Every structure is written in C-alpha cells, then in structure tokens.
C-alpha cells in the first residue's frame, strides 16, 4: 500500500488519519457522555481533562487530514454509484469534515469562555481563544451538544453506508479504507 | 570630641554615653520603622494555581495591611495583613462561584485570612518575612522572600512564596485531588506603598 492516495484507493496516510480520528471521536464522545453525567468527583475532572486533551488532538489531526487531502488526489467513487448517491456521499463527507472541526472548536470556545486553562495531556498549555464570557460559554455549550447529536446522526449514516457497500452492494468502498489486499 | 578626652573620667563618660545610646537604640528604632500605606490601584495580592493541570491566575481584590518597614531597622519592621477571602477573583465566573463554598474558603465561616510576621530578616537577595499564615483557622508558618525598594516616599515590594493549599484546608473532599486543582499555589505579592 502506498503512502499517498491513488486514483482507485486511499493511501496509508489517509487511512491512518481516518482511523486515528475515528478512534479519537468514538473515545471523546463516550468520555463526554460519561463525564457530564457523573457527580462532582476527582474522576469527573480527570475525564474532563482527558476529553479536552483528546478534542484538541483530534482538531490538530483533522487539520492535518484536510491538508493531506488537499495535497493528494481523492480516489474516484465507484462507478456503480448513481449520480444521486455520489452527490449524497459528497455532502455527507463534507458534513463530517465540518463537524470534525466544529465539534472540537465549540468545545475549545466553551472552555475559553469559562476561562478554564487547557493543558493538553499535561504536556503543553494552549492559550484561550476568547475572553471570559458567561453568555458565550452558554452559547458554545448549546452548540457543542447540538453538534454532538448531528455528528452522531451523520456517523450512523456514514457507518451504515460503509456496511451497506460491503455487505449489501459487495463493492470496494469499505475495503479501500482498510489496510487489506484488494480483491 | 570624645577622642580628645584622655582622662579615665572621660573614658567613663564615653562608655556611659555609648551605653545610653545603645540602650536607647531600640526605642529610636521603633519610631524609625516606617509605616507604609498600600496604594491599592497599583498593588496586587495574587496567586498562580493549576486546574486540571493547566495554570491560571487569580487575585484578592480586598485586603488591608499594617506595613512597617525600614531597611535599617528590620527588628521593628512588621507586616500584619488581612485578606477578605470572599474578594477572590480568578477571572472565571464558574470557578469563582465555587470558591466561597464550604469546601474551599468557606467565606461565611472564615471571611478573613491573615498573615502576621514574627520576624523580618535580610537575605543575600533581599529580605524574608517569617510569619504565620492563617486560612480557615489553620495557622502555619510561611517564610516569604521579598525585595523592597524605597524611592523617596514610595516603595515597591515584590515577593512570592509557594504554599500547599491542602494544609490550610482549602479544597476539601472531592476537591482535595491534585488532578482537580494542584496542591501547590504560588502566592505573588506586588505592592506599591506610600509613606
């Protein structure tokens, strides 16, 4: 498998970024869900710290991924897809990219507006984006939760579509995001 | 004048005179240790702490102090500081809304914290104050190194010392965990004073 993308497949770089970010998003969503429902405790705050660190890491990876996509060719969609399906897939992926940016950004703004410090994995402290503002923190909080639900819905569609391609349509769409030899 | 005195009586009076001066020195000194007023607009009683491993700063907006300091009379120099614990401001309404609670400063029960020096001594870098810091009725000795620069009728005092918040009972129960808020808090004193 090549590092870079080819006309009919994703290279190792794109695959690594896809799966790293996928694992990051799944973990961040799970952590987020658990931590907000915990009563105040040391564990709760440790989960918050972890969630925030993970979110910033995902943001960095997503930016890297966008640059990588920019400087690589994007593999063609299989010809078996109808123009309508191709358009839908394009829109879905565009939504995923937008949400992958908006999700960590709204969290970052929320943390900044609360004027909480953010130290990524205890390694480096990053500056706050905004001045302290209760109103902004409130708005960012509502956005963060809204984006969570939208992202959850789009991810269900994304995973559902990938499985449909693999198990129903028997095409290469899922397999070409996996480091396996292609049929 | 004394040097010209050569009689034994003269030496006696010289000795007596020096003795009187020496015994009078502390009295003279007590009036020499200058009282200073804090210029609050140009002063800051601040601190640096950590939350979830990230650094943040805060300050106490309301404090008053009886400050007596003369570089040449440290024996009679003395700081007596009273801090309104409820005036804490860390620039985060979420954080600040928790700090007056019973687990933190318990400002209803302990509205004031105190720092009273027992001794001020010179060091190679400046001075250090040895005093008792009382927060929530927990009193521990805190040695505060500081510099003091007098210029005319104004003076600048800068000092910093790291204390352990847990020893003073600040942040109890679930807040005791250092991953929530670090135990070490650096207290930073930057005062402008006038006499």
ipTM: 0.76
CB contacts, 8 Å: A118 with chain B: 54
What is the per-residue pLDDT for B189?
Answer: 98
Q: What is the C-alpha separation between B61 and B72, in angstroms, rounded? A: 31
Mean pLDDT to the nearest integer, B55-74: 96
CA–centroid distance for B164 within its chain: 17
What is the per-residue pLDDT for B1?
Answer: 40
**Residue A183 counted as domain residue:** no
Interface test with chain B among A56, A118, A132, by most B beta carbons within 10 Å: A132
Domains of chain B, with CATH numbers? 1-32 (no CATH), 33-194 (2.40.128.110)
**Residue A139 counted as domain residue:** yes
- Mean pLDDT check: name the lowest of A8-12, A55-59, A136-140, A161-165: A8-12
**Residue A182 counted as domain residue:** no
Give the residues across from B120 on adjacent strands: B129
pLDDT in tens, A73-82: 999 988 888 9
**Residue A83 counted as domain residue:** yes
With a pLDDT cut of 90, the percent of chain A lying above it is: 86
**Residue A57 counted as domain residue:** yes
Is pLDDT of B33 > 90?
Answer: no
Contacts of A25 (CB under 8 A, 6+ apart): A58, A100, A103, A151, A155
What is the per-residue pLDDT for B167?
Answer: 97
Cβ-nearest to A115 among B50, B55, B92: B92
Confidence of residue A42 (pLDDT cuts 50, 70, 90): confident
Q: Within 13 A of A23's CA, how many CA atoms are on the CB side?
A: 6
**By residue range, what is the domain housing residue A124?**
12-177
Give the DSSP letter of residue B181: B
Is pLDDT of B116 > 60?
Answer: yes
pLDDT in tens, A109-167: 999 999 999 999 999 999 999 999 999 999 999 999 999 999 999 999 999 999 999 99
3-state secondary structure of B178: coil
What is the per-residue pLDDT for A8?
Answer: 84
Is pLDDT of B30 > 50?
Answer: no
- Mean pLDDT check: name the lowest of A49-53, A136-140, B25-29, B110-114: B25-29
What is the per-residue pLDDT for B161?
Answer: 98
**Residue A154 counted as domain residue:** yes
CA distance A119 to chain B (A): 5
Give the DSSP letter of residue B169: T
Q: What is the C-alpha separation between A79 and A102, in angstroms, rounded? A: 32
Please state the domain count of chain A: 1
Angle between helices A134-163 and A83-113 (to 10 degrees): 150
Query: Which positions in chain A have a beta carbon within 8 angstroms of at least one beta carbon in chain B?
Result: 40-42, 45-46, 48-49, 52, 114-119, 122, 125, 132, 134, 137
What is the per-residue pLDDT for B22?
Answer: 54
- SS3 for chain A is CCCCCECCECCHHHHHHHHHHHHHHHHHHHHHHHHHHCCCCHHHHHHHHHHHHHHHHHHHHHHHHHHHHHCCCCCCCCCCCCHHHHHHHHHHHHHHHHHHHHHHHHHHHHHHHCCCCEEECCCEEECCCCCCCHHHHHHHHHHHHHHHHHHHHHHHHHHHHHHHHHHHCCCCCCHHHCCCCCC
Joined tokens for residue B178: 């250092």
Q: Which of B95, B50, B100 is nearest to A132 (CA)?
A: B95
CA distance A151 to chain B (A): 27
CB contacts, 8 Å: B91 with chain A: 115, 132
CB contacts, 8 Å: B93 with chain A: 114, 132, 134
pLDDT in tens, B76-115: 999 999 999 999 999 999 899 999 999 999 999 999 999 9
Q: How many CB pairs under 8 A join A and B?
A: 56
Q: Which residues of A97-122 are buried (b: 16+ CB within 10 A; e: fewer)?
A: eebbbbbbbbbbbbbbbbbbbbbbee
Q: What is the mean pLDDT of chain B?
A: 89
**Residue A148 counted as domain residue:** yes
**Residue A105 counted as domain residue:** yes
What is the per-residue pLDDT for B179?
Answer: 84
- Contact (CB<8Å) B54/A45: no
- Contact (CB<8Å) A125/B54: yes
Q: Which of B42, B41, B38, B84 is nearest to B60 (CA)?
A: B84
CATH number at residue A52: 1.20.950.20
């Amino acid at each position: 498998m090549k590092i870079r993308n080819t006309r009919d497949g994703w290279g190792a770089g794109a695959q690594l970024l896809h799966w790293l970010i996928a694992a990051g998003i799944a973990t961040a969503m799970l952590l987020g869900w658990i931590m907000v429902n915990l009563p105040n405790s040391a564990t709760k705050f440790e989960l918050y710290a972890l969630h925030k660190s993970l979110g910033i890491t995902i943001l960095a990876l997503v930016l890297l991924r966008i640059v990588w996509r920019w400087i690589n060719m994007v593999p063609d969609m299989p010809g078996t897809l109808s123009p309508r399906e191709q358009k839908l897939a394009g829109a879905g992926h565009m939504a995923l990219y937008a949400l992958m940016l908006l999700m960590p950004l709204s969290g970052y703004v929320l943390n900044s507006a609360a004027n909480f410090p953010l130290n990524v994995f205890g390694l480096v402290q990053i500056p706050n984006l905004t001045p302290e503002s209760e109103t902004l923190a409130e708005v960012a909080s509502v956005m963060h939760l809204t984006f969570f639900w939208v992202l959850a819905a789009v991810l269900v569609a994304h995973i559902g579509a990938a499985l449909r391609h693999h198990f129903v349509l028997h095409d290469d769409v899922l397999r070409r995001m996996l480091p396996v030899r292609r049929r | 004048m004394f040097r010209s005195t050569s009689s034994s009586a003269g030496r006696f009076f010289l000795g007596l005179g020096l003795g009187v001066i020496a015994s009078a020195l502390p009295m003279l000194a007590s009036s020499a240790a200058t009282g200073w007023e804090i210029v609050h607009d140009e002063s800051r009683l601040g601190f640096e702490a950590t939350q979830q491993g990230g650094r943040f700063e805060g300050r106490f907006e309301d404090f008053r102090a009886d400050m007596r300091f003369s570089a040449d009379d440290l024996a009679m120099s003395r700081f007596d500081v009273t801090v309104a614990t409820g005036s804490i401001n860390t620039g985060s309404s979420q954080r600040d809304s928790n700090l007056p609670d019973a687990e933190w400063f318990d400002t209803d029960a302990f509205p004031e914290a105190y720092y009273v020096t027992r001794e001020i001594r010179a060091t190679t870098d400046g001075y250090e104050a040895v005093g008792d810091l009382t927060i929530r009725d927990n009193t521990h000795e805190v040695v505060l190194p500081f510099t003091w620069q007098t210029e005319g009728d104004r003076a600048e005092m800068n000092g910093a010392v790291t204390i352990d918040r847990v020893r003073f009972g600040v942040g109890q129960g679930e807040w005791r965990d250092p991953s929530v808020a670090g135990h070490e808090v650096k207290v930073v004193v930057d005062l402008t004073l006038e006499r």
